[in-house]
Amino acid sequence: MHLSRRAFLGGATCGAASLCSGAESGAGHAPAKGRVTLAISTYSYWHFRPPKVSIETVIEKSAESGVSGVDILHRQMDLEEKAPFAAEGRTYCNRLKRLAFTHGIDLICLSTHQNFVSPKPEVIGENVEHTNKCIEIAYQLGVPCIRINTGRWNTVDFDTLMANRGVEPILSGHTEEEGFKWCIDGIQRCLPKAQECGVLLALENHWGLARTPEGLLRIVNAIHSPWLGVLMDTGNFLENPYDKLEQIAPKTVFVQAKTYYGGGEWYTLDLDYQRIATILADAGYHGYVSLEFEGKENPDVAVPKSIEMLRKAFASQPTR
């Protein structure tokens, strides 16, 4: 079923109205408890430091591991991040799609970066345009979901942000209320393209306005669209994570599961995945759980170890 859906979605242009009606008609059905599907994020093999590991390599390694899907980090692709999505890029995406198909792998999510937290309308517009382009890339790949961020104030560099546990000062002369208004408006402007292409926007509990469950849910609940849901990153609530993950679980449409073998790149969390599996089961979640290995151990060792741990943790829910 997954492969035929990908083939259907993977045309060169958007405009699949039947996809929109299909997703909306299913939005009111209560999800069945049970099965989750394991996947691997390409980020697990590349943490923004050279050498960059290709998407092709991760697809092949994921097939060897026995998981069902690959979650692609946009910045890891052989595409210039801010350049237009032209014929060369479409050819590259088609090669990835073919490789995944021949290895029995579903391409399931495109993890993108944007910043809707800015007082400058032109900056919001640029990020809307970038996100719409990423939706087009996902459509070309046959990927039914993209990860989006709120963005952040950018008043400190990323290493300082991590040292401050994700907290940063608000931009001078502005308020958090303004930030939420800018972010909600920016995401709403991306929804027509998401609906047109049948690509779900999954807002991650990342840094910025979605650093807390209250902030994340404030945005999602303000928009009320079947084309916007929550991406649960298990490693982005640094204190009391389980209560916070439980708050966002009912809105979750995709899960990225962090592990930190060898010590984390910026921090290390000791996460109880059996407890997280229970939280997801109680919320009726039965979608993808994509490994995001963020440790310093060799990923060729740590990724298989992480997948085996996740299989055991979700043993009460049959996995694929």
**Residue 316 CB neighbours (<10 A):** 10
pLDDT per residue as tens digits for the range 98-129: 999 999 999 999 999 999 999 999 999 999 99
- Does residue 265 carry a pLDDT above 70? yes
Give bridge partners of residue 111 from the DSSP assignment: 73, 147
pLDDT bin (cut points 50, 70, 90) of residue 319 is: low
Task: Supply the pTM of this predicted model.
Answer: 0.88
What phi and psi, each to the nearest 5 degrees, are found at residue 92? -60, -45
Mean pLDDT of the residues in the chain: 90
Name the E strands within 26-185. Answer: 37-41, 69-73, 106-111, 145-148
pLDDT, position 4: 38
Class of domain 2-6+47-313: alpha beta
